[in-house]
Amino acid sequence: MSKLPYCVHRQWLLIGLLGLIVGLGAGCAHFQRLQVKNSAVLDDHEGLTASFSRYWRLIARKEVEKALDCEAPHVREIIGLDAYALYQNLFMKADLQEVEVLAISCERDFLCHVDCRLIYKANGHRDTRERRDFWLRLTDGAWYHVLKNPMLLPQLGG
């Protein structure tokens, strides 16, 4: 059996390593960080910026179970994981690329509405939607998203 020169083994090792890196990079492309623009608007409400960004990043990565944990306890009580996953799959047909905070208004210190613009990409096209997000701060000081959809959760109102 003939021996291959050392440089040939090294060359195949480098090619394999490069292939692994490229493969991992392509596989991790789905987990790129979602760009959340203008989130500083939320900074006056301690913890809201982090909760808002975390929720939308989980939604963008389609981590439904973790996103459900970001919902207010009364929402989790009403809707189960299966229904929530179905809703998110219908809602998130395209890839969420960016969330931009437009404005915030608070009825009370613990209840805020965040107007935002969602930018999606599907089949090479960009789609923009604006929505009002509802956020509730509980006695533990943490902020929770409040899913409001009159078709899915009529008991919570629209």
Q: pLDDT at position 56, please?
A: 95
Q: What do you get for the CA distance between the two ends of the chain, in Å?
A: 76
Co-location of 71 and 26 in the same domain: no
- Report the distance separating Cα 37 and Cα 99, nearest Å: 6
How far from 94 is each of 58, 61, 121, CA to CA, in Å? 14, 11, 6
Q: What is the pLDDT of residues 4-38, one digit of tens each?
A: 555 544 554 434 433 433 333 333 444 457 889 98
Higher pLDDT, 89 or 47: 47
Q: What is the pLDDT of residues 66-95, one digit of tens each?
A: 999 999 999 999 888 998 998 888 877 788
Predicted TM-score (pTM) of the model is 0.75
Co-location of 99 and 119 in the same domain: yes
- Report the distance separating Cα 123 and Cα 129, nearest Å: 17
Is the pLDDT confidence value at 151 over 50? yes
Domain, as residue range, for 1: 1-31
Q: What is the pLDDT of residues 96-131, one digit of tens each?
A: 999 999 999 999 999 999 999 999 988 888 999 999
The alpha carbon torsion through 106, 107, 111, 115 (nearest 10 deg) reads: -40
Of 98, 109, 106, 96, nearest in space to 133 by CA: 106
Query: Per the structure block, which two tokens stand in for 20?
Result: 């692994």
Co-location of 19 and 68 in the same domain: no
Q: Tell me what the mean pLDDT of segment 128-154 comes to.
A: 89
Co-location of 3 and 18 in the same domain: yes
Q: Tell me what the mean pLDDT of segment 138-154 comes to.
A: 85
Number of separate domains in the chain: 2
How far from 5 is each of 11, 13, 14, CA to CA, in Å? 10, 13, 15
